[in-house]
Structure 1
């Protein structure tokens, strides 16, 4: 009570009006901001683009806190300056700067999260790539914010970066494989040789399966016998990777042999098979389509079919291929021909046959006995 009485008698009370004016201006600015934000959100809902729907919700709450926080810290500084005597109040300005940096980082993180969710909802881009880019942007925003906060606290950022560079070199040498896997994952995200759900295989390694997850360090595949396969990301930087999931068509390449006695029917069979393929609804006629007599086989006259299906689905492809082959069998039978079997024909000269028969007749002495 004695301290309060001495303060009341000695201090000028004009600072109270300053605090009231500051907080009143903050309240007026906040009310105007709420009205403006309501109008902007309503306008954003009527526009065709959806990116303005991402911006305004991200900036709403951080800016509202800035409107209240900035005058509040000024008011706190005025209060302490008039009540606490000769106290060092530089920390209040530091906290005010930290508040601004914190709200800026918060706004950037909210903006990245909202943009990421918008791209997820559109469904036109790969979720793995969107998530990877979002993680990079979040990490970048946090790093910039931390450096700014340290600089506001008086920490030497240049010295910190120098120490961090030397430390990063040491860590890089010690964790070479870990970093190679990390940058291999980054290259997968940006080059996009495959995505989650793709069927991939490598002719260089015994790697084949469906991509389940693309992580920072490794990629998880599910083989066709449903075993999980964990592949370090650095492997994909050194091997050839096939992505059959991105095929435009699937190929049918079959060789069919007719009997040699059906040689006179080969031309008609080939013409009818070609016409059947051109009229087939599941054959892509804009791609290469060949039906030609190819070779004289050991026991057959061979012609081949080279064409592409419209579908790339594995199960659907085999149904189309089955239908094509069954129709080919029907065409061959319609012409009175047949598919050759592995047979062998033995031709003997008549003179050799007579000599063989004479050799089998016993001499007269043997007949008498």
Structure 2
């Protein structure tokens, strides 16, 4: 087909479409005029009922600002619901009222279908507005108790607001076009491809952003909590949009991306009820068995005297140069310094008690034996007391 023929075909199609629209408009006008002439009483009653319904809906919408004003912080669930009610659009209220009364007045098919079409558009976009307000309100409500930097939270909420708005209104547009009879398959496919392209281009940013949202919603830790991951321990100072800052025990500031942090096993020490300490105490092999039997009771007395909670103490193993006992006790709280000081007090008390009881805390030793040519062990010590003791005796 030549360019001239294509242009002619396009012009003909435009004329046909224009004529069809004109015919539909004229048909709607004629049917509406006839309807007004024959059903004027029902129409007046329907208009009155519609006005009453619209007035009631406007009155209900007025409760939205009041609910928000009654909320102390403006970020509770009641405030979220109030803002959603406040965002109810006037066009939706008018079309809802018209939809409810259009059947009563016996409206013709053209008028009824027009009202239904306009109501569908209003309802879909109103649902998108409500969904947007509820989602954003839920996120703000969740972050209310989190001590997140204002700039970081503002940046995150700005990006979240953009993503949520684009998503809900894109879905609303697709629904409206589908109701118009438009084939939305290509549009949905295009949106999907575009979303994939954007996601691949900014996957690092989105990964850290969603990790920050996971921290906010799942709350594995909060600002001020003492956490441990890998071999690092410290207090959480700030949860940002991209990274989390942790102040180490030695005073260093560690910055780790939110995604990498959530990929690790995190131990939150602030939610524990206590801290447990463990000592391995080695006694000399020359310790009498009766003292070995009483040793756990001695440890219990010393632990409780230091204000700690005794858990257990018992013989653990035969060491290379000691008889090892395992002692475990808990601090009354999860505070690190309190547990640290308590561990110190218990350690000093154990040394003092061993000295008082005549117990020897073993240390690595080595004993050498001399063998005779025939293999018999020879005691290198001479018979009788050492020379100095013999002289003194």
Q: Would you call these one fold, judging by a TM-score over 0.5? A: yes
- The 2-side partners of 1:164 and 1:177 are apart by 21
For 1:271, which of 293, 297, 304 is the aligned residue? Answer: 297
| Of 317-326 and 274-283, the range deviating more from structure 2 | 274-283
Distance 1:159 1:284, change over 3 A: farther
Specify the SS of the correspondent of 2:354: helix
- The 1-side partners of 2:136 and 2:203 are apart by 32
Please report the TM-score for the alignment, with normalisation by the length of structure 2. 0.53
2:127 aligned partner:
104
- The 2-side partners of 1:238 and 1:297 are apart by 41
8 Å CA contact 1:98, 1:152 repeated in 2:
yes
- The 2-side partners of 1:168 and 1:34 are apart by 38
- The 1-side partners of 2:125 and 2:247 are apart by 43
2:353 aligned partner:
331
Deviations 1:150-179 (A, max 9, x none): 664778643222123333444455555455
For 1:65, which of 90, 93, 98 is the aligned residue? Answer: 90
| 5+ long unaligned stretches in structure 2 | 1-35, 37-43, 100-114, 369-378, 387-393
8 Å CA contact 2:121, 2:176 repeated in 1:
yes
| 5+ long unaligned stretches in structure 1 | 1-13, 15-19, 75-91, 355-369
Please report the TM-score for the alignment, with normalisation by the length of structure 1. 0.56
Specify the SS of the correspondent of 1:350: coil
1:350 aligned partner:
382
- The 2-side partners of 1:113 and 1:294 are apart by 60
1:220 Cα deviation (Å)? 3.6
2:112 aligned partner:
none
8 Å CA contact 1:29, 1:67 repeated in 2:
no
2:33 aligned partner:
none
- The 2-side partners of 1:37 and 1:149 are apart by 25
> What RMSD, in angstroms, separates the aligned Cα atoms of the two structures?
5.6
2:333 aligned partner:
311
Distance 1:62 1:30, change over 3 A: farther
Specify the SS of the correspondent of 1:329: helix
Specify the SS of the correspondent of 1:274: helix
- Paired residues, number: 306
The answer to whether structure 1 residue 148 and structure 2 residue 180 are counterparts is: no
8 Å CA contact 2:58, 2:93 repeated in 1:
no
1:291 Cα deviation (Å)? 3.5
Deviations 1:240-281 (A, max 9, x none): 544444545422111334567764644434322134446875
Specify the SS of the correspondent of 1:230: strand
